[in-house]
Amino acid sequence: MKTARVIPLVQQRPAGPLLPEHSPGTFADAAGLVRDQMARPLRDLRISVTDRCNFRCSYCMPKEVFDQHHRYLPQSDLLSFEEITRVAARFVELGVRKIRLTGGEPLLRRGIETLVAQLAALRTPQGEVLDLTLTTNGALLSRKAQALRDAGLQRITVSLDGLDDAVFRSMNDVDFPVAEVLQGIDAAVAAGLGPIKVNMVVKKGCNEGQILPMAQHFKGTGVALRFIEYMDVGSTNGWRMDEVLPSSEVLALLRSAHVLHPVAGTHSGETAERFVHAGALGQADATLGEIGLISSVTRAFCADCNRARLSTDGRLFLCLFASQGIDLRALLRQGASNEALRQAVASAWYGRDDRYSELRSQLPTAHAPSGQRIEMSYIGG
């Protein structure tokens, strides 16, 4: 019987202070901003626009579960673009400054450019433009990149789990060629969707041999590369700790072939530990590109997590590992006022005390905790 490998887990940042008491029914401060029970602000909103995807990656939508018999949400259950924009505006009033469109695969949502244009028109209470971005598997990007940029999308993140075609086809499990994703990245660069990020989920025993080829390929291209530890999201991917390749080992492998210099984060709540390549004289050279490590399992970053997630059918989730969401669609379709929607969001965030990744480190097992959790394809990564 194979013994489960033990990987030490550490808390990356100290917990924040508890908030002072608010008056009954008041959840935002004088500036209209809201903080949760660990004093974490609401700054980042992830919006899932579809629960469908054209890939069947084993860590997200395994083919054995999401097969031809899987029942997706009917169109009538999905939030309309107008509903999404109305809800997003309330989040912006409460402090959100970054909106990321996700899925499933967001480019499968018909007319996605219309939603991008609506969200791009939103402004903060101070009149500032939002950071509007989108995460895609890249399969449809070559034909969509220019239209997305024209609609107002600023940046894009592409999920790419390897450069070797056989490895990539195996990972996406629908025999999709890597060349078409690379063409999509080129199209995004040409359209001015940048800076572009590429995310690689590293699953031990599957694609760790692609780490060095990915680093070499994107060096000097202006594309930021992120290596993400395989996460225990949802309850269908059969996650085990011994399939996680810790970021510390990824970094050691990278440094066996590249000289990397650490760089400071740019904002609170940033999840990546960032590095830049060294130039010919050994000094940090940002023009050669950036590499980031997202230690979603071994280094908990709950303490300053500032992200909320809106599901395809309008439920608000306060943690990627949540099992229940707050039904904002019902409020929308019952005719709730903008103020009522804003108060619902503020109340939910104010009561938030989620810190799943920190608590995971206290579990004496190599498996994910038992119980149903919402799938990543439903609320986005």
In DSSP terms, 159 is beta-bridged to 199
Q: Is the pLDDT reported for residue 13 higher than 50? A: no
Quick one: pLDDT at residue 60?
85
Question: Residue 245: what residue type?
Answer: L
Structure tokens at 122: 């939103």
Residue 8's pLDDT band (boundaries 50, 70, 90)? Answer: very low
Across residues 181-185, what is the average pLDDT?
98
Q: How confident is the model at residue 357, as a pLDDT? A: 67
Strands 98-102 and 131-136: parallel
Backbone angles phi, psi at 132, to 5 degrees: -115, 120
State the pLDDT at residue 277: 95
Q: What is the DSSP string of 25-37?
A: T--B-TTS-BB-T
Does residue 175 surpass a pLDDT of 90?
A: yes
Q: How far apart are CA 240 and CA 314, in angstroms?
A: 30
Q: What is the arithmetic mean of pLDDT over 220-231?
A: 93
Per-residue pLDDT, 255: 97
Q: Which residue has the higher pLDDT, 243 or 256?
A: 256
Higher pLDDT: 266 or 175? It is 175
What is the tens place of the pLDDT at every residue in 295-318?
Answer: 888 887 788 899 999 999 999 999
Q: Which amino acid is at 63?
A: K
Give the mean pLDDT of 57-69: 87
Please tell me the predicted confidence (pLDDT) of residue 320. 80
33-61: per-residue pLDDT in tens? Answer: 899 998 999 999 999 999 999 999 988 88
To the nearest whole percent, how much of the chain has pLDDT over 90? 67
Average pLDDT over residues 263-277: 82
Q: Determine which of 3-7, 304-308, 374-378 has the lowest per-residue pLDDT on average.
A: 3-7
Tell the residue number behind the tokens 């790419």, with chain if given. 160
CB 245 within 8 A of CB 294: no
Average pLDDT, the chain: 86
pLDDT at 268 over 60: yes
Start-to-end CA span in the chain (Å): 34
Q: Does the pLDDT value for residue 163 go beyond 90?
A: yes
- pLDDT band for 5, please (50, 70, 90 cuts): very low
Gap between the Cα atoms of 325 and 331, Å rounded: 13
Going across the sheet that includes 307-310, the strands are 260-263, 273-277, 290-294, 224-229, 197-202, 155-159, 131-136, 98-102, 44-48, 307-310, 315-317, 326-327
pLDDT at 328 over 90: yes
d(CA 105, CA 109): 8
Read off the pLDDT of residues 100-153 as tens digits, 9 standing for 90 and up. Answer: 999 999 999 999 999 999 999 999 999 999 999 999 999 999 999 999 999 999
Name the band, by pLDDT with cuts 50, 70 and 90, for residue 361.
Answer: low
What pLDDT is attached to residue 106?
A: 98
| 111 Rama class: left (phi>0) / alpha (psi -120 to 50) / beta | left
- What's the average model confidence in pLDDT over 276-293? 92
Identify the architecture of domain 10-14+23-379 in CATH. Answer: Alpha-Beta Barrel (3.20)
**Domain spans of the chain?**
10-14+23-379
The string of DSSP codes covering 216-269 is: HHHTTSS-EEEEEE----SSSS--BGGGB--HHHHHHHHHTT--EEEE--SSTT
